[in-house]
Structure 1
Amino acid sequence: MRRPVLSLAFLLALVVPLLPVAPASAADAISWAPCEEDPTAECGTLAVPVDWNNPGGETFELALARRKATDPAARTGSLVINPGGPGGSGVDAVLQNWLGFTPELTSRFDVVGFDPRGVGRSHPIRCSLELARQAPDPLSLKSQADFDALLAYNERYRQDCRARTGPLFDQVHTGNVIRDLDALRAALGDDKLTYYGVSYGTLIGQLYAERFPQRVRALALDSNMDHSLGTTAFLDTESWTSQDSFNEFVAWCGRTTSCALHGRDIRGLWKELLARAERGELHLPGRPEIPLSKLGLISQAFGAFYGPAYKELAEFLVALESGDQTARAILTPPAAKSEEVINDATQVFCLDYAVPVRDYREYARHLRRSAAIAPDMLVSAAAHPITAACLGTPTPVPNPQHRLRVSGTPTLLLANALHDPATGYPWAVNAALQIGREARLLTYEGWGHGVYGRGECPTLAFDRYLTSLTVPGKGARCPAVPPAELTAQRTRTFPGPMPGLPGWTAS
């Protein structure tokens, strides 16, 4: 039988939608100008399609910020960054120097941040703050009726956000973000991408490597996601790493005389505070009008583990115990005069992860499993609220979990702390195994979320990789920097709003 003859027009129709828009030149695509917030940096926008399957359709403006290489003669190219989330602003990361890059990087690269679609200045997902505050507490569900009420609320909230946001609401998944990123690479005039992503930003890097392996120069992936996990594995591993961070906090206080809880039964105090929170007896220090729920208390500890801010957490718990109103909270609510709408990037996760839970019995079973894995923390303050918020998302989601299939890239640098509260070390190990020979894993033997900047060893490893493509040896490890020393060096905070606490951010 004769093979059918396929016309060139037909072949192009198949291929073109899969390719990013490639501007003729950077000058044509991005008009840079001094940023209003900081004229020492440049800001610009790049038009990209709302729906990459319809590249000739409606577009929106991807927000950008850039700090040009301080040594033009040594310039290597652009270093594109993403600080995580979902919901972290790459524009703010550049303007405020969140990531603390060394002169080794800033002299050689134009550091470019972008707000992913639906985030910050890039056509943000807009939702009612009042409605967001009405979200059921995911730890308070007691029956199938409560579970049904959660699903009904989620649908009402989704429709509110979709109405306020428009067609982009259903197109914010990371499968589209990586196509935006490739269009940005082309617009910057770089033949290949040099990228640093932390936390959720590693998912962007992982999926970019999978889809565009020949366009990779260097991908530095700091504190890694594992996009292969189903509902049970996702919640279980997040509970485990949250409890691991609590255990490390208790151990630190046990050996550190300056800890406000040194010599105390910390687990006993924590249990009492959780019980008081459940009875409605706790309030945010200095804000007696704001109750602190059980999830709210867990979130305060979880936020402290990012630093880690062990000293501050111990003082906060002592203040809760005594009723002292002068302690500083780890996370704080939105200002009283905040806008009526918020930018809620939860939908990004909901379109990247299928996390089905059939009914209340299954939901309660997840909570019991998590409490057994994490007897102090009970749940992950990030994973469980965002999973609850995504229940009822129409299926199939456009960018569901799968094992990574990376082939043909240069070596990718993955790094993770042993005691990371949010992206647990097993996630990085698993992601590296999935990537295979293209991956090189660097282990930081310490605490907190984000490895870059935690002492000379990991920082130098990232710098060498990004500048000269030199990778650490197999099995490379970096010693921990004590938390007290880290506090003076840097502070890691949440890159976006806290899941389950709408509008709350790091103080």
Structure 2
Amino acid sequence: MAQASPVVWGACDEAALQEVPVIERYLFSCARYPVPVDHADPAKGTVDVAMMRRAATEPAERIGSLFLNPGGPGGAGFDMPVGAVERFGPAVLERFDIVGFDPRGIDRSTRMRCFANAEQAEKVLGRMSSVPVTDEQISTTMGAYADYGDACAKNAGELQRHMSTADVARDLDLLRAGVGDEQLNFVGFSYGTLLGATYVNMFPERSRAIVLDGNVDPALRTADGVQYDRERAGGFELALDGFLQRCAAEASKCSFGEGDPRAKFDEIRTALRQAPITMPDGSKITLDQVTDGVSSALYDPEQFRQLASDLQALHLQLHPKAGLVPDLLRVLRLPSGKHRFDGVGEAEEAYVDDSYFAVNCTDKPIPKKPGLVPAVAAQWEAESPTFGRTQAFSDVAGCSEWPPTSPDVHRGPWAHQAANPVLLFGNFYDPATQYEFSQRMEKELGNARLVSVDSFGHCILGDSSCADTRAADYLINLRVPQPGEVCQPDQQPF
């Protein structure tokens, strides 16, 4: 294991601090920190990890550093300290330096690049359909994934072979030592919960307070990537069903609530599977756009009103009424993107790059059998009509064509030996990491405590005073909430 040299903090560039009030900028500093590209063979050289720190506002009472990861994989965490005031109460900001970092391969850190430029990337990625239905769409999408894998094999170099979560956990351990902390304090969101679970098992004696929000099922994810994604599709279906039921119950406030929202939604999806819907302004709305847009909106309950309005406009276009013109679409008219990224914030605003597949295709066992993908997609669509097909044509398709990677993956044990319990938060209607995954995380870690949240959306810290208070008490005092505690969000949809 490489020895950690101290982090050398300096000024942050102006662009990084644009959102920070001028009178608070003195709290912020930035650094680049070298880590071995291959921890087993440091002679292969280093890659840089970009870091930002927001200093504790009560330095005399400082406990240590609090490292954050936003999820993904592929999520850029460098500037998370800028938004820390929206996610953590004053007591946490007084006692901890808040440290964000872009994991290896991502954004401001040494990037893993499969393409020389954006034009080359678009030539390949632009041929992918999120929900390919016809033989031609399926063939084109799978061909694009094959070309993507070839480009990564040719261009991404040694870094592509060392992108496992275990590699990132080793980097994180060096960062922890580099800032001078004997033990790690960490908050991980979404995929960041796998990073936290991996760290606490690889380095239990160096783990102090680990908070995991929006949990994956680490055992399933690292043992059977295909089954994990199949269940993940089911999680999106559960969240969609919850949204449609809440819309029906709040019909006076939900514009899609009149009649039977479930039947109306299914009719829209069935129509789009046959052909795009042409809106009054001439724009053609596709199955890709609507599937991506609905999944993205389910991450954030603040978008539920607009999602309902868009769905009602599509339904009105299928059933025109004299004198009624459908409203302009907002969340469902965006250009289709893969929307793979899971993490805090809105999916389409997040920085996503080639590291998404580099991490998942290393961590998640998925057979190199691209010919099987269409049959898998058909089976999953029968079980999960809205999201089964798009899940199959994400990681199962992409990883079937991904170049070989290092086998260095932590696949268990998960029952950690750290002195303190791990604190978990799970929303009942989380689309990307369904609630059952949080229940499994609690069982698998053994020494852990789950706080359930009666909430929609992906992850909760910053949106529930109840959850925020429990997290602060744990981070500062290492006090764990009572078993079976259920929090409410500060706002319910509609």
The answer to whether the superposition gives a TM-score over 0.5 is yes
The answer to whether residue 346 in structure 2 is matched with residue 352 in structure 1 is no
Unaligned runs of 5+ in 1: 1-18, 336-340, 486-507
Q: Distance in 2 between matches of 1:252 and 1:73?
A: 48
Contact 1:195 1:218 in 2 (8 A): yes
1:264-323 C-alpha deviation (Å, 9 max, x unpaired): 3323332333234334424799893xx543233112111111112221110122333456
2:322 corresponds in structure 1 to: none
C-alpha distance in 2 between matches for 1:286 and 1:212: 57
Partner of 2:263: 268
Amino acid aligned to 2:293: Q
What is the distance in 2 between the residues matched to 1:231 and 1:243?
19
Residue 163 of structure 2 corresponds to residue 172 of structure 1:
yes
Identify if the C-alpha distance between structure 1 residues 111 and 194 changes in structure 2 by more than 3 Å, giving closer, same or farther: same
Q: Distance in 2 between matches of 1:206 and 1:392?
A: 28
Number of the residue aligned with 1:233: 227
SS of aligned partner of 2:295: helix
Deviates most, 29-38 or 275-284: 275-284
DSSP 3-state at the match of 1:315:
helix
Rounded Cα–Cα distance in structure 1 between residues aligned with 2:459 and 2:47? 31
Matches within 5 A, 1:78-157: 78-97=65-84, 100-126=87-113, 127=115, 128-137=120-129, 139-140=131-132, 152-157=143-148
Q: 2:313 aligns with which of 310, 319, 324?
A: 319
The answer to whether the Cα contact below 8 Å between 1:210 and 1:406 also exists between their aligned partners in 2 is yes
Does the 8 Å contact 1:306/1:421 carry over to 2? Answer: yes
AA aligned opposite 1:433: K
On the 8 A contact 1:203/1:225 being kept in 2, the answer is yes
Instruction: Tell me which moved more, 343-352 or 203-212.
Output: 343-352
Q: Where do residues 55-94 of structure 1 align in structure 2 (5 Å cutoff)?
A: 55-94=42-81
Distance of 2:423 and 2:452 partners within structure 1: 11
AA matched with 1:118? G
| Residue 403 of structure 1, CA deviation | 4.3
Matching residue's letter, 2:273: E
CA drift at 1:166: 3.0
How far apart, in 2, do the equivalents of 1:113 and 1:46 lie? 12
For residue 472 of structure 1, what is the aligned residue in structure 2?
A: 481
1:402-443 deviation line (CA, Å, top 9, x unaligned) = 34433320211111111110011111111221111x211111
| Residue 31 of structure 1: aligned partner | 9
**8 Å CA contact retained: 1:310, 1:483:** no
Preserved contact between residue 444 and residue 478 of structure 1 (Cα < 8 Å): yes
Residue of structure 1 in register with 2:198 after alignment: 207
The residue that corresponds to 1:304 in the other structure is: 297
For the 8 Å contact 1:235–1:370, the answer to whether it is kept is no
After superposition, what is the alpha-carbon deviation per residue over 1:438-476, rounded to whole angstroms, capped at 9, x for unaligned?
211111122111021232211111111111111112222
Q: Secondary structure at the match of 2:30?
A: strand
Deviation (angstroms), 1:169: 2.0
Task: Give me the TM-score of the superposition, normalised by structure 2.
Answer: 0.83
Deviations 1:150-189 (A, max 9, x none): 5553232123234444321222221110111001001000
Q: Tell me which residue corresponds to 1:454.
A: 463
CA distance in 1, matches of 2:453, 2:169: 27
Partners of 2:178 and 2:478 lie apart in 1 by 23
In terms of fraction of residues, the more helix-rich structure is 2
Partner of 1:379: 388
- 1:113, 1:49 → 2: CA distance? 19
Aligned counterpart, 2:241: 247
State the alpha-carbon separation in 2 of the partners of residues 450 and 188 from structure 1. 27
3-state SS of 1:61 partner: strand
Alpha-carbon distance change, 382 to 397 in structure 1, aligned in 2, over 3 angstroms: farther
Instruction: Establish whether residue 423 from structure 1 lines up as the match of residue 430 from structure 2.
Output: no
- Determine the C-alpha separation between the residues in 1 that align with 2:85 and 2:335: 21
- Equivalent residue of 1:90, what SS? coil
Structure 2 counterpart SS, 1:267: helix
Q: When the two structures are aligned, how many residues end up with a matched partner?
A: 452
Deviation for aligned residue 1:102 = 1.5
Q: What is the aligned partner in structure 1 of residue 287 from structure 2?
A: 294
Residues 214 and 427 in structure 2, CA contact (< 8 A), matched pair in contact too: yes
> Which whole-Å CA distance do the structure 2 matches of 1:147 and 1:392 have between them?
14
Find the aligned partners of 1:139 and 1:163 in 2 and give their Cα distance.
28
- Structure 1 residues 393, 90: CA separation in 2 closer, same or farther (over 3 Å shift)? same
CA distance in structure 2 between the aligned counterparts of 1:395 and 1:284, rounded to whole angstroms: 45
Secondary structure of the corresponding residue to residue 91 of structure 1:
coil
In 1, are the aligned partners of 2:423 and 2:480 still within 8 Å (CA)? yes
Please, which runs of 5 or more residues in structure 2 have no aligned partner? 318-325, 338-350
**Higher mean displacement: 224-233 or 273-282:** 273-282
Deviation of 1:70 (Å): 1.2
